[in-house]
Structure 1
């Protein structure tokens, strides 16, 4: 392996000049995209076609203009004399850059097939690569060529170099760079096992069981970017969705996809996804646990379809048609309802199916008498008052709020729907003590919104996505998972999580059952156990906690031999935390001060009183962040001060899992 030192080699100077060329090429691409918008707006095409074309061109131009500033390439591949790319050299970056659409690219996109060798090639399998070059850029560079400070060559064709993070000084430095501000992309540092997951096909659903620091979140986001690049039309038809546990986490990861050239991807929490109203109530734990249980799906189906009754009609239907009346006998009307009920269509589809079949019977009779059944005639028959009254009687029109309100406020209705499914204690936990006057004034809890989404899904299938990335999936309840599954019926999932970090009362203990609720029981579960950011000293302590958690996951290991762990017993934990923060501030990087929720106010107050400027978890880029253990999941800090771990454990039923989360935030 060869290391080229800064500012002293002709090769490094040549790469800087080439970067200037790439910068000019990108500027030309942006200018050309703006010109295409003008041309497209003046194009003579049908209204719909012109609108689609204009939207595509404007989106492309907007995406190029909004690209974050940064280095335009991070690697180079020089191929040997054999194979498809014999004698070719390619610079690899986050975006394809070309001087002209028909010209060879100056930089190839990291997602392009040729770029895979950058991540997968090694001395034992060079994949046709003679030399792999990595570039070292100054931290925080906005892409000035002078910020290209070093480069490193691995002569794979000569049997030198390795595969993965081992042996590369630039790669190791980039992985271990201090973490301040939002999450960064890992396009320059993707490891072979991560690359395999990133490039899995669109039809493949994956579950990544990732130990702390293994990059599972980054893998999921880069897979999203890869799918958008590789299957643009199929993804655009269905859309792509990123689901995270809370808004703090989504803010933290929000810069990754734009840095990779992908904007406009929806990022949401599950609560926002199922928001059929405003959360204005809070359940006690007993009620919440029952509401999130998978058995509620059966209860809700019973409550909804209990409104359907063939016996609700007691006489034949006679539809007037001028001086004639078309009659459908009572037996036929009841048979229609029974047949449709057995077919189990969505509720609203079933309602219209009942109507259309009754109309069809009348149409058959009319045509036998020589009547021409035009579209207008059929509509008239279908919307006749007696026909609508029949449909409303046997298959009433309902709203999700009506169904859930009646279930939670009417003891007899709850008993009927839950009999044999929920025991008496569970039913009592669900029943409202003082219900509102109607569903319109009901105050819904967060769990109620999930139940409303279940009922809405029974009425009509929701709009789906081509692919959904679900992060921190281990904390999903079965009912939340069903909400995700309804939106991925014809799409695929990337499920990311760590069973050892499950902290909700309904957190999964095994992946198989949760994947079933997500509608993808066939998804492969792939473990990532090698940590690249959490130091070995921290991982060792976390593994001791892991041994006390009832989950079947492999222990993590770390490639980092550096890092420091200190356990201090102090008389005053708040004063001790202030001292620990002062020591951490003497070093480079961000500081996360994590405590049980009840202790956060006095820790913040003590730090402020000591002259330390502190921020909350939503204020990205702060040097010192004070946060409750409950919102720490998914976040990373260069230094972590865990204030009174025992208080974190005692604060909730899954306290040991919460402590595991807290300990592994340190990178």
Structure 2
């Protein structure tokens, strides 16, 4: 391996990413312009030419005149929006490298190697760039021809003679590094530029990792759209980045299909979504929506909370059967015939025949509203049969008219009345008899009492209306389930579910409804489950999601957390997730790690000030109850700080993070305040130790653990 550099640095971001197949045009050889004998100068020349070409592509779109193209203002607005999105996707981000690598093939891709076809050079970047003649200058990292950049090795060079990585400093190309993959005389060596890129400071929100995707990550990223993938990954393994790059890959490989069906990224909270929101736009993907599970089920305003016992029962998958029974209980078997008057004739459908129709619809187990819509047509069909038996020849218009007949409509209203999902759940939670009737054999008496709002001596007050009810987050999920029982939920083409280990079975069902006809990428770490209903196994979680056939992959190579830090945190694994493989850090830099006794908040502030001397971001993570006192101490010391999720819009480098919001976030340096308080802030010790494991593994470069109280004994 050879390298050359000015002050070197590397492109992109941390390791974990994805790639979809598509374009494989052959780019020109920019190094053949004869502008210089200096390879670095030639590469800089190609970078400048590529940026100019991208600018020209953007100007071409900006100059489009659509005044005489569309037939009406609606079409004009839609086309203008598409053009605006295209212009945004062609933005040249000054500090984001346009390309980060080059592949020199031995033969032209697709050519018969026996013919000795001359190889070509392909520059690999975040997006496709072509010149005025349409010849590619940069190939999208997701194209098939780019795949060897991530997977080729000395053992399997994939017809690549040379892989070149580029290093950047502040957007300027300052270094390159070559691997002669097909040269048997050159020994394989680790890439210094790759290691620099993996370990460079994380200032602000998450960045893409497109330049550092590892082979095992690339395999997940490029897996097909039809199958669901579950990724178990410990801290720093890049599972979130893998999921986001997988979305970008799928949009590249299946753009038309996903444009019709839609994609969605689901995160645990708004802070997390703010943290990751720039990754996909940096890859040119602007149309992917992001939401939390609470956003998906926002049928009512959530103003209340549940105690752990109630939340556990409400989140249990058994509640789906309770709700199904309650919805179907609204169907009443007919006891009177339906008599339809048309002109001078009266047509009678007896009660026993109506019951047969109702029983057949119930047996089909279709959505409640769909069956209700079918019922009048079934009754009308029974009338038409009688008409035909009497020698008449009714057509479809007659059947529709009969279905709208007042007598038929009255019968449908009595037999199959409309159901309001929120009112149904309100009654279940407020009416002990109604709940007992439909929970019989499913929930025991104590479980029913746990979720009832009104009962003697409980202190809970029954709501009189949907609007006055103090709905909890778990109640909203129940309403979502009931809504789906009434009317089918729209399915998307692909859903990415991150931090999935914290979802309840009913929440999994809510997400699964959003991808019943599509696929999903499920990301999480069983060791980081911090809810009372945290996922015990991925097999169980995937069954609730409706994706039992999903492939489960495990990432164990840690690219983000330093060796000393992950080794310390892994002391907790035998107590919180004994079956999981500990993460093995592959970082060359062992990182800074210290455990310090303190006497008060001033020592915590001093530790923050010490770390702020370094380049990069600093997170002060503490038990939620200790956040106000630490905020006061920071303010008194004149040290500015932000809250989680605010890092995207401020230059302040210190973030004060409640332990409950730390999951999924990362900082170059972390001060972890009082581990014992983090553990004690949770309902039980195991959940507290898992919360501590999360907090310990947020650091990218260094960690200082400060404590006045004794450390948890599980840390040794």
Does TM, normalized by the shorter one, top 0.5?
A: yes
Change (3 A) 1:84 1:580: same
Match of 1:178 in 2: 201
Change (3 A) 1:499 1:34: same
**Aligned counterparts of 2:538 and 2:332: Cα–Cα separation in 1:** 39
Is residue 2:154 matched to residue 1:123?
Answer: yes
Match of 2:305 in 1: 282
Match of 2:689 in 1: 656
SS of the residue corresponding to residue 268 of structure 1 reads strand
**Aligned counterparts of 1:93 and 1:104: Cα–Cα separation in 2:** 15
Match of 1:548 in 2: 575
Of 228-237 and 74-83, the range deviating more from structure 2: 74-83
SS of the residue corresponding to residue 156 of structure 1 reads coil
Match of 2:181 in 1: 156
Equivalenced residue count is: 653
Match of 1:633 in 2: 663
1:440 Cα offset (Å): 4.3
Task: Check the 8 A contact 1:279/1:446 in 2, yes or no.
Answer: yes
Identify which of 89, 95, 98 aligns with 1:63. Answer: 89
Change (3 A) 1:319 1:577: same
Match of 1:76 in 2: 102
1:26 Cα offset (Å): 0.5
Match of 2:646 in 1: 619
Is residue 2:543 matched to residue 1:507?
Answer: no
Residues 62-98 of structure 1, C-alpha deviations (whole Å, 9 max, x = no match): 4324867622111111111476364100101000001
**Aligned counterparts of 2:108 and 2:127: Cα–Cα separation in 1:** 27
Residues 559-617 of structure 1, C-alpha deviations (whole Å, 9 max, x = no match): 12421211112232x22211211221222221110000000111111122112111111
Match of 2:278 in 1: 255
**Aligned counterparts of 2:346 and 2:73: Cα–Cα separation in 1:** 46
Match of 2:30 in 1: none
Task: Check the 8 A contact 1:124/1:159 in 2, yes or no.
Answer: no
Is residue 2:631 matched to residue 1:587?
Answer: no
Is residue 2:57 matched to residue 1:29?
Answer: yes
Name the TM-score, length of structure 1 as normaliser: 0.94
Residues 9-42 of structure 1, C-alpha deviations (whole Å, 9 max, x = no match): 7111111111111111111111222344x24x52
Match of 2:126 in 1: 94
**Aligned counterparts of 2:306 and 2:90: Cα–Cα separation in 1:** 46
Residues 215-261 of structure 1, C-alpha deviations (whole Å, 9 max, x = no match): 00000000000000000011111100000000000000000000000
Q: Residues 61-460 of structure 1 correspond to what in structure 2 (within 5 A)?
A: 61-65=87-91, 70-81=96-107, 84=110, 86-100=118-132, 103-139=134-170, 141=171, 147-159=172-184, 167-310=190-333, 313-433=334-454, 434-460=461-487
**Aligned counterparts of 2:355 and 2:92: Cα–Cα separation in 1:** 61
Is residue 2:619 matched to residue 1:596?
Answer: no
Task: Check the 8 A contact 2:228/2:521 in 1, yes or no.
Answer: yes
1:48 Cα offset (Å): 8.8
Of 104-113 and 610-619, the range deviating more from structure 2: 610-619
1:321 Cα offset (Å): 0.8
Task: Check the 8 A contact 1:161/1:167 in 2, yes or no.
Answer: no
Match of 1:144 in 2: none
Alpha carbon RMSD of aligned pairs, Å? 2.0
Match of 1:565 in 2: 593
Task: Check the 8 A contact 1:510/1:551 in 2, yes or no.
Answer: no
Task: Check the 8 A contact 2:239/2:524 in 1, yes or no.
Answer: yes
**Aligned counterparts of 1:159 and 1:457: Cα–Cα separation in 2:** 61
Change (3 A) 1:180 1:18: same
**Aligned counterparts of 2:84 and 2:607: Cα–Cα separation in 1:** 51
Of 233-242 and 41-50, the range deviating more from structure 2: 41-50
Name the TM-score, length of structure 2 as normaliser: 0.88
Residues 118-155 of structure 1, C-alpha deviations (whole Å, 9 max, x = no match): 0011111111111111110114x3xxxxx111111111
Task: Check the 8 A contact 2:377/2:399 in 1, yes or no.
Answer: no
Task: Check the 8 A contact 2:55/2:92 in 1, yes or no.
Answer: no
1:50 Cα offset (Å): 7.5
Change (3 A) 1:371 1:50: farther
**Higher share in helix:** 1
SS of the residue corresponding to residue 202 of structure 1 reads coil
SS of the residue corresponding to residue 620 of structure 2 reads strand
Task: Check the 8 A contact 1:154/1:160 in 2, yes or no.
Answer: no
**Aligned counterparts of 1:206 and 1:464: Cα–Cα separation in 2:** 18
Is residue 2:565 matched to residue 1:538?
Answer: yes
Change (3 A) 1:44 1:213: closer
1:456 Cα offset (Å): 0.5
Task: Check the 8 A contact 2:495/2:515 in 1, yes or no.
Answer: yes
Task: Check the 8 A contact 2:598/2:604 in 1, yes or no.
Answer: no
Task: Check the 8 A contact 2:631/2:656 in 1, yes or no.
Answer: yes
1:370 Cα offset (Å): 4.3
Change (3 A) 1:628 1:162: farther
SS of the residue corresponding to residue 495 of structure 1 reads strand
SS of the residue corresponding to residue 305 of structure 2 reads coil
**Aligned counterparts of 2:645 and 2:73: Cα–Cα separation in 1:** 44
Task: Check the 8 A contact 2:5/2:174 in 1, yes or no.
Answer: yes
**Aligned counterparts of 1:67 and 1:518: Cα–Cα separation in 2:** 38
Change (3 A) 1:361 1:55: farther
Structure 2 residue runs of 5 or longer lacking an equivalent are 8-35, 112-117, 455-460, 701-716
**Aligned counterparts of 1:44 and 1:405: Cα–Cα separation in 2:** 50
**Aligned counterparts of 1:326 and 1:440: Cα–Cα separation in 2:** 44
1:367 Cα offset (Å): 3.0
